[in-house]
Structure 1
Amino acid sequence: MPDSHYPVADLIRKRRTVRQFKDDPIPLALLMELIEIANWAPNHGLREPWRYILYREEAREAFTKAVLRAMSAEEVAKYGEQRAKDYATIPCHLIVAMKEDPRQKQWEEDFGAVCSWIQSFQLAAWERGVGVVWKTNSYIFSLRFREAVGVGDGEKVVGVLHIGYPDAIPEPRPRSAAASKLTVHG
């Protein structure tokens, strides 16, 4: 779709999930700016149910160890070496967690808000030339991982964002026409 005079629409269309990163560090000031921007994500009752845990620089090793300890022996044998290599070169790992409200309606509202926070972060990052991949691998459910990274009882890891300057930007993949999924009444 051609560029328009609607910068937000262009940003949404052009954002890509980045899986290959340069190993150049992301300045902490830039990360904090992106986090502050994402804090404006919509959330019911201004509950701001999100919390973040950032691993960068030498702390990436602790993140990697937490992931590997959460994996089965078979997974470590199959993926461990590659994951350790990848996680050591990705500049930042941001764990995004939410408080789990025991009331279903509020839980779902909060989950939606945290997902909105993540999308807002991704868009703000893309605008600044920073790539992100949002991961929900099975280790985020592991008690060993959660304890190692400081996610407590009553919290859910909504995702891990791997963040860095893109080394490769994937081509856009086609989307279904919105009309094919729309039911109109009236």
Structure 2
Amino acid sequence: MELKKLMRERRSVHQFENKPVPVELVTELLDTAVWVPNHRMTQPWRFVIIQGEGRHKLAEIVRKFREANEPDPQKAKEIGQKLYDKFMSVPMFIAVILKVNDNAAIAEEDYAAAACLIQNFSLLAWEQGIGMVWETYPLLKLEAFREAFGVQPDERIIGSLHTGYPGKIPAGQARVSASERLTVMA
């Protein structure tokens, strides 16, 4: 597919088919996605894939967290189950884990490079008929989530990429053209 068309047609997917995504294909896409601008070539990322039965652990963490933070016990169980089911409907989770650099300038550059990597992966996956959404929910900071993904003390999860074959593709949303927000100084 032509890159311009691919960029305009890619969507964040929230509903997936109940069909596994081959780990080998995801690995191949990630191997290509890492070719991003990375000032100082720190390459601070690593990835953890959770799929199949491994998803139960994540879904349980979400359920327990939600139930513990809802005062109404009946509502807590309903919301907890809804979130559990939502997590179980995602075929694959890919955690993008970043080594945290103590130098603020390098840490910012590293995050920017990792964001580019996620965008590359998103486009490469879309080209293969695979959808995803980059999630940054606060739960990623929970110790239980960090433990589930094997995150070390000097690392952070910058995104959970919910990945699978699209069950529903959302309509595109209009964008403000760059020309409307462009200033040229000569």
Bigger shift: residues 60-69 or 26-35: 60-69
> How many residue pairs end up in the alignment?
181
Give the structure 1 partner of residue 35 of structure 2.
Answer: 40
Q: Does 1:55 align with 2:53?
A: no
In 1: Cα distance, 2:96 partner to 2:108 partner: 16
CA contact (8 A) 1:70 1:142 kept: no
Alignment partner for residue 65 of structure 1, among 54, 60, 67? 60
Identity within the alignment, %: 36
Structure 1: runs of 5+ lacking an equivalent: 1-5
* DSSP 3-state at the match of 1:175: coil
Q: Does 1:22 align with 2:17?
A: yes
In 2: Cα distance, 1:79 partner to 1:54 partner: 26
TM superposition score normalised by structure 1 = 0.90
**Structure 1 residue 133, shift from structure 2 partner:** 0.6
**Structure 1 residue 69, shift from structure 2 partner:** 4.4
Q: What does 1:86-105 align with in structure 2 at a 5 Å threshold? A: 86-105=86-105
Per-residue CA deviation, residues 64-86 of structure 1 (Å, 9 max, x unaligned), is 22334454613592632112112
Q: What letter matches 2:28 in structure 1?
A: E
Q: What does 1:1-186 align with in structure 2 at a 5 Å threshold? A: 7-71=2-66, 73-74=68-69, 77=76, 79-186=79-186
**Structure 1 residue 182, shift from structure 2 partner:** 1.5
In 1: Cα distance, 2:170 partner to 2:126 partner: 13
In 2: Cα distance, 1:33 partner to 1:17 partner: 21
Structure 2: runs of 5+ lacking an equivalent: none
Q: What letter matches 1:50 in structure 2?
A: W
In 2: Cα distance, 1:148 partner to 1:85 partner: 18
In 1: Cα distance, 2:43 partner to 2:64 partner: 30
Bigger shift: residues 31-40 or 116-125: 31-40
